[in-house]
């Protein structure tokens, strides 16, 4: 069992969004959508804390948030997002912990993609 802490999440999330913002494709999408970056980072730390540690800190509706930005939710953008997540977690965490974060992200991305697809075809 890999040991994951709030401290890992507190380092991983801001480092990931630094890379997202520096990305030529994803950066502009996020910068256009997000006014309050400190708030977004707190939300995403709470999200990953709920997902990985079962703390229930996150209260929100990720599906609604992504359907709102449906035109940007393409397969290519998901691959790009996941590649950056993989790189950042590999750089910052022990291999087992990184793998656990990557598996979760893969699964959540798949369900977000299905949700967005369902919305498009409705």
> Which residues bind to ligand HEM, rule: CB under 6 A?
29-30, 33-34, 43-44, 47, 60, 62, 65-66, 68-69, 72-73, 77-78, 81, 105, 108-109, 112
Angle at 98 between CA 97 and CA 99, to 5 degrees: 90
**CA–CA separation, 45 vs 19, rounded Å?**
16
Output the smallest distance, CB 93 to ligand HEM, in A: 16
**CA–CA separation, 47 vs 54, rounded Å?**
10
Output the smallest distance, CB 96 to ligand HEM, in A: 19
Comparing every residue's Cβ against ligand HEM, the nearest one is: 60
| Closer residue to ligand HEM, CB minimum distance, 11 or 115 | 115
| Closer residue to ligand HEM, CB minimum distance, 70 or 96 | 70
Q: Which two tokens stand for residue 109?
A: 């991305």
Among 39, 54, 40, residue whose Cα is nearest residue 6? 54
CB 26 within 8 A of CB 80: yes
Output the smallest distance, CB 45 to ligand HEM, in A: 10
Output the smallest distance, CB 11 to ligand HEM, in A: 17
Q: Which two tokens stand for residue 26?
A: 């994803």
């Amino acid at each position: 069992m890999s040991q994951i802490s709030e401290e890992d999440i507190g380092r991983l999330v801001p480092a990931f969004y630094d890379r997202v913002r520096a990305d030529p494709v994803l950066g502009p999408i996020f910068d256009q959508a997000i006014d309050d970056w400190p708030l977004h980072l707190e939300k995403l730390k709470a999200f990953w804390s709920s997902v990985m540690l079962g703390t229930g800190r996150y209260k929100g509706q990720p599906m609604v948030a992504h359907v709102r930005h449906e035109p940007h939710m393409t397969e290519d953008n998901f691959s790009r997002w996941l590649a950056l997540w993989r790189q950042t977690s590999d750089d910052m965490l022990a291999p087992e912990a990184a793998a656990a974060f990557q598996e979760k992200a893969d699964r959540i991305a798949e369900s977000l993609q299905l949700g967005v697809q369902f919305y498009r075809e409705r």
